[in-house]
Amino acid sequence: MIDKLLDSLILTKGIKCNDLVLGDKNAVMVAARVLRDGDLEAAAWSCGMVAGLIHDVPTCQELIDTIMKEADEIINERLKGYANA
């Protein structure tokens, strides 16, 4: 399957195998195009199984608010004796 993908990329976009390999001298620039700029066509990339667990992309403020709310709930529900000590 990978061989077919690489052959397709080479034929249709002129991409060479070295363009996709991390050991290549341009790997940092290519990785930046994928990870920083969001250019998913620049190279092969992976995201892992955790991608299936992401259901939203909150702002930093929303993330901190959620963490603080959940921590407060844990303290008040599970650790009542410690919260009042």
What pTM was estimated for this model as a whole? 0.41
Distance CA 24, CA 20 (A): 8
Q: How confident is the model at residue 70 (pLDDT cuts 50, 70, 90)?
A: very high
Helix (H, G, I), strand (E, B) or coil at 63: helix
pLDDT tens-digit readout, 29-57: 777 777 778 887 777 767 778 878 888 88
- Mark whether 5 and 35 lie in a shared domain: yes
> By residue range, what is the domain housing residue 64?
55-85
- Mark whether 59 and 32 lie in a shared domain: no
Percent of the chain with pLDDT over 70: 59
- Alpha-carbon dihedral angle through residues 25, 26, 29, 35, given to the nearest 10 degrees: -90
- Mark whether 8 and 43 lie in a shared domain: yes
Mean of per-residue pLDDT scores for the chain: 74
